[in-house]
Amino acid sequence: MQQQVIQLIQGDITKVETDAIVNAANSSLLGGGGVDGAIHRAGGRQILEECMQIRARQGGCATGEAVITTAGKLPARFVIHTVGPVWQGGNRNEPQLLANAYRNSLQLALENDCRTIAFPNISTGIYGYPKELAADVAIATVNQYLKDHPGSFDTILFVCFDDENFTIYQKAITG
């Protein structure tokens, strides 16, 4: 486990000072509820305008993929918007799609010279992904990425908004 790199906090991802924060976006990239809405509200109109340009270019963002914008008024430099899967029982490639969301976000961060990145708990809100299963996928994917790309990040931060996710991630990280 890359515990010197992987860190965990409980709080509001819109207040985290990292090179990039990850937005658990929907495929439209136009904002929504949960963390997506909070990031768009806190970051201001610039993020939405850049998302609209991406939509015009490529028609949104597919599940498991990621796109990047500046961070507007947020303390980060970038927002990486990724679309996690909607939970449909686990037999529709959800674990692979969720892993892709984390992996593609990390890759975009790396390509944009980000040394620090903060993730929310992707797909565990309205998308209904079971929190323990999502934490296992997140931790395993990030650990594998760090193995495959040693020294690529100084800090990978998991930002849990609620007590439940924080406790789940604490257990998943410490093994």
Q: What is the DSSP string of 49-89?
A: HHHHHHHHHHSS--TT-EEEEE-TTSSSSEEEEE-PPPPSS
**Selection from 117, 154, 144 nearest residue 18 by Cα:** 117
How far lies 123's CA from each of 2, 12, 46, 49, in Å?
Answer: 23, 17, 25, 24
Residues 120/22, Cβ–Cβ less than 8 Å: yes
Residue among 36, 136, 154, 162 flagged as catalytic? 36
Q: Is the pLDDT of residue 1 over 70?
A: no
pLDDT (average), residues 127-153? 97
Q: How many residues does the chain have?
A: 175
Domains and CATH numbers, the chain: 6-174 (3.40.220.10)
Instruction: Supply the pLDDT for residue 26.
Output: 95
159 sits in which H/E element: strand 155-160
Angle between helices 131-148 and 163-174 (to 10 degrees): 50
Instruction: Supply the pLDDT for residue 174.
Output: 85
Instruction: Supply the pLDDT for residue 4.
Output: 83
Kindly report the number of other CB atoms within 10 A of residue 77's CB atom. Answer: 17
Is 113 annotated in the active site? no
The rounded distance, in Å, linking the Cα atoms of 72 and 29 is 15
pTM: 0.96
As separate numbers, helices (DSSP H) first and strands (DSSP E) second, the chain gives 5, 6
pLDDT, one tens digit per residue, over 97-132 is 999 999 999 999 999 999 999 999 999 999 999 999
Instruction: Supply the pLDDT for residue 3.
Output: 55
